[in-house]
């Protein structure tokens, strides 16, 4: 086991912000999806929500640069479902919509140390009226040129990095917010991807890891992993 990688992954997971999230309302261009996923990972978000048509693939590792592996992505059929889940995850969450309106405020005036969800809209049409109805505030990025809006991934990056700046100053990245089971799953899959895939195929729980990231398992586990056929393959033989 590469202990340097293990320690790096562990440090990242120890700083994850479960109360900072972004919601993509039908953002459909893959370069934007990829960029926002990377930004969410870079700023320590743990959850990413997306309103996305059914039966369409949202992100692949090729388009997200692998950042999707380190995030919990939640796909929703409509914005109502997305907002309901975000509020269920944190009832105190402030929902912000990136939208130019008469009552919109400069995105830098927001207190991002509070539980926060940022909704960004579809590339052509922006945020839907239904999403705006859920928002507690509209936020804007001030412009000094002729254009009135930025690319959606650029806008998301500016907002999330402002949230990161405020949270770093407040010491919020020193909190260990992730559930231990979730952290173990991500650690195991990130540091032992081949064995993790074999465990999933054979419906085996992930064994424990020691302080160096090495697998702690008895001989029975290794024998099952090595010799037992995947459940699906066994059923096909019947």
215 is in an annotated binding site: no
How much is the pLDDT for 58? Answer: 61
119 known ligand binder: no
Q: Is 141 annotated as a binding residue?
A: yes
What is the per-residue pLDDT across 119-169, written as a single tens digit (0 to 9) for each? 999 888 889 999 999 999 999 999 899 887 889 999 999 999 999 999 999
Where do the domains of the chain lie?
17-174, 180-237
Position 43 scores a pLDDT of 98
CA–CA distance, 68 with 47 (Å, rounded to integer): 10
Q: Tell me, what's the pLDDT at 63?
A: 44
Rounded CA separation 184/97 (Å):
33
CA torsion sign for 115, 120, 126, 131 is: negative
- So what's the pLDDT on residue 1? 61
Task: Read off the pTM.
Answer: 0.87
Q: Which two tokens stand for residue 9?
A: 């992954």
| Residues of the chain scoring pLDDT < 70 | 1, 53-68, 229-238
Fold of 17-174: Alpha/beta knot (3.40.1280)
Phi and psi for 119 in degrees, rounded to 5? -95, 125
């Amino acid at each position: 086991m590469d202990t340097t990688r293990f320690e790096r992954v562990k440090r990242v997971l120890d700083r994850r912000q479960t109360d900072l999230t972004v919601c993509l309302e039908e953002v459909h261009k893959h370069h934007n999806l990829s960029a926002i996923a990377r930004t969410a990972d870079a700023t320590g978000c743990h959850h990413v929500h997306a309103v996305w048509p059914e039966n369409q693939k949202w992100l692949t590792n090729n388009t997200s640069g692998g950042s999707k592996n380190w995030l919990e992505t939640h796909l929703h059929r409509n914005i109502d479902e997305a907002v309901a889940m975000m509020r269920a995850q944190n009832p105190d969450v402030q929902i912000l919509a990136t939208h130019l309106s008469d009552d919109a405020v400069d995105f830098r005036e927001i207190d991002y140390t509070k539980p926060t969800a940022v909704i960004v809209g579809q590339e052509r049409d922006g945020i839907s009226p239904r999403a705006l109805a859920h928002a507690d505030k509209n936020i804007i990025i001030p412009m000094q040129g002729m254009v009135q809006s930025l690319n959606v991934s650029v806008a998301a990056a500016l907002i999330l990095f402002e949230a990161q700046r405020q949270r770093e100053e407040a010491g919020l990245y020193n909190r260990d917010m992730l559930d231990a089971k979730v952290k173990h799953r991500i650690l195991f899959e990130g540091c032992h991807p081949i064995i993790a895939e074999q465990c999933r195929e054979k419906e085996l729980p992930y064994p424990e890891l020691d302080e160096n990231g090495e697998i702690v398992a008895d001989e029975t586990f290794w024998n099952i992993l090595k010799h037992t056929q995947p459940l699906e393959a066994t059923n096909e033989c019947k």
